[in-house]
């Protein structure tokens, strides 16, 4: 939270910038919450004094970014959804992808994910799930690791060199174990060569199958950069069928075209 400047002897910022930083700290405090937060909980989670929390939260209610319930608890407001839906990398790509994702979901009756890269994470933009699909815990708007998910690896394979280095090589590398590092390198190389990547991972959700398999393909622009990636997540059945790989690749090409890109053969 850099950029916060306080005048000497005052607990209140002199310039407006700090208010925005603190307002978004308040909004992000809801990420680990289960919907509603009391004023006290909001202050504690955001690390702001209760008086500042109330002042900023009240203003966020006024602009529609928060809503206050009869109980006094705060929740994220619909005004934020109205504005967030204008993000080209979110709902713009989603609008192009959704019909093809629905086709995939209808045929497989499992989970179909759409994600985009934000620095060294993937952000889940859409998830379609059949009522009877294997439970997973991916949440729209949530972050996924680039090096341990299908959509993440598809994005990583077509990310700028600096991002790949940060994830795989650099001092900030998230892949710390040598064997795991080799595995990520192999998957990234396969994703680049084949335009699709498949991996089986332990299911993070208790009660479902022990393992889940994901097949993912990048959505590429004309320069070969990833606009996003789609994946299919299903109970593990070993190596995914060739048909699924082809279905993911053709869907990703169709989405790229629908998003106004001339797809590169991959």
Q: Footprint of a second copy on this chain (CB under 8 A)?
A: 3, 12-13, 16-24, 27-28, 30-31, 33, 35-36, 55-56, 59-60, 62-65, 67, 75-92, 95, 98-99, 102, 105-106, 116, 118, 123, 125, 128-131, 139-143
CB of 55 to a second copy, least distance (A): 7
Nearest to a second copy of 107, 165 (CB atom): 107
User: Is the separation of the CB atoms in 66 and 220 below 8 Å?
Assistant: no
Shorter beta-carbon distance to a second copy: residue 57 or 198: 57
- Nearer residue to a second copy within complex by CB, 82 or 169: 82
Least Cα distance to 105 among 246, 244, 266 occurs for: 244
Provide the minimum distance between the beta carbon of 196 and a second copy in the complex, in angstroms, as a whole number: 22
Kindly state the smallest distance separating residue 89's Cβ from a second copy, in Å. 6
What is the spatial distance between Cα 96 and Cα 68, in angstroms, rounded to a whole number?
A: 34
Query: Least distance from C-beta 193 to a second copy, angstroms?
Result: 29
Helix, strand, coil tally for the chain in percent (to 5): 40, 20, 40
With a CB cutoff of 8 Å and minimum separation 6, the contacts of 156 are 117, 146, 147, 163, 164, 167, 184, 188, 191
Q: Which is nearer to a second copy, 63 or 165 (CB)?
A: 63
- How many helices and strands, by DSSP H and E, does the chain display? 9, 8
């Amino acid at each position: 939270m850099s950029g916060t400047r306080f005048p000497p002897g005052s607990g209140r910022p002199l310039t407006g910038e700090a208010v925005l930083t603190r307002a978004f700290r308040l909004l992000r405090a809801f990420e680990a919450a289960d919907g509603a937060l009391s004023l006290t909980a909001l202050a504690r989670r955001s690390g702001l004094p209760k008086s500042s929390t109330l002042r900023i939260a009240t203003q966020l209610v006024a602009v529609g970014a928060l809503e206050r319930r009869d109980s006094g608890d705060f929740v994220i407001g619909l005004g934020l959804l109205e504005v967030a839906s204008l993000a080209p990398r979110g709902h713009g790509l989603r609008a192009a992808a959704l019909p093809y994702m629905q086709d995939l979901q209808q045929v497989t009756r499992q989970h179909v994910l759409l994600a985009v890269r934000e620095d060294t994470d993937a952000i889940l933009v859409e998830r379609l799930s059949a009522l009877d699909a294997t439970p997973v815990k991916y949440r729209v708007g949530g972050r996924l690791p680039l090096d341990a998910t299908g959509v993440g690896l598809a994005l990583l394979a077509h990310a700028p060199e600096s991002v790949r280095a940060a994830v795989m090589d650099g001092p900030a590398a998230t892949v710390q174990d040598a064997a795991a590092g080799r595995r990520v390198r192999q998957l990234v190389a396969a994703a680049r060569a084949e335009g699709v990547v498949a991996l089986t991972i332990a299911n993070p959700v208790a009660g479902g199958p022990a393992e889940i398999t994901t097949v993912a393909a990048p959505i590429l622009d004309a320069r070969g950069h990833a606009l996003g990636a789609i994946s299919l997540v299903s109970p593990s059945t070993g190596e995914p069928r060739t048909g699924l790989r082809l279905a993911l690749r053709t869907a990703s090409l169709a989405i790229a075209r629908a998003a106004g890109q001339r797809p590169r053969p991959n």
